[in-house]
């Protein structure tokens, strides 16, 4: 699991990456990375656009780390502007963690992100984040 946001220019497949829908871009890069590593046990996952996007599966749980503030409405508005939490973009000012930090100045990726994810639960994240769900499904199928 690697964050798509901030990938270096020399990441496999990045140079020839075409303009397109974010899910097409990330699948292309995952495929290129898999070819670069070239090992049957390697199943890459690039988190669109970063892990913190998955937290937008439940804006209420994000807001729960700052119960003294009333930010759930703003978090819901951010989520509502996109078809999926995974589409919240990768601009330096508006990537998911930056959006959370702008509303909760005390937010720190560690320890807050794993705590929030745990409170949301894997089923809710999978329901809201299809790219993540697809990767987990592939991992689960390996056990069959």
pLDDT at 122 (0 to 100): 98
- The closest of 92, 1, 94, 10 to 47, measured between CA atoms, is 1
pLDDT at 70 (0 to 100): 84
Is the pLDDT at 69 greater than 90? The verdict is: no
pLDDT at 15 (0 to 100): 87
SS3 assignment, position 63: helix
Phi/psi class of residue 9: alpha, beta or left (left: φ > 0; alpha: ψ in -120 to 50)? alpha
Name residues whose C-beta falls within 8 Å of residue 73's C-beta, 6 or more positions apart in sequence. Answer: none
- Residue range 73-109, pLDDT digits in tens: 999 999 999 999 999 987 889 999 999 999 999 999 9
pLDDT at 16 (0 to 100): 82
pLDDT at 90 (0 to 100): 75
Is the pLDDT at 60 greater than 80? The verdict is: yes
- Residue range 17-49, pLDDT digits in tens: 767 789 999 999 999 999 999 999 999 999 999
- The closest of 43, 58, 36, 40 to 2, measured between CA atoms, is 43
């Amino acid at each position: 699991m690697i964050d798509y946001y901030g990938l270096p220019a020399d990441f496999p497949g990045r140079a020839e990456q075409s303009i397109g829908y974010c899910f097409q871009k990330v699948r292309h890069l995952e495929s290129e990375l898999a070819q670069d590593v070239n090992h049957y046990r390697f199943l890459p996952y690039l988190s669109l656009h970063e892990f913190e996007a998955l937290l937008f599966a439940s804006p209420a749980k994000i807001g729960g780390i700052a119960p003294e503030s009333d930010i759930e409405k703003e978090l819901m508005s951010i989520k509502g502007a996109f078809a999926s939490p995974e589409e919240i973009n990768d601009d330096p000012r508006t990537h998911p963690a930056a959006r959370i930090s702008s509303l909760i100045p005390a937010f720190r990726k560690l320890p807050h992100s794993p705590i929030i994810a745990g409170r949301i639960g894997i089923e809710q994240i999978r329901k809201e984040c299809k790219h993540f769900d697809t990767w987990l499904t592939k991992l689960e199928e390996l056990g069959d």
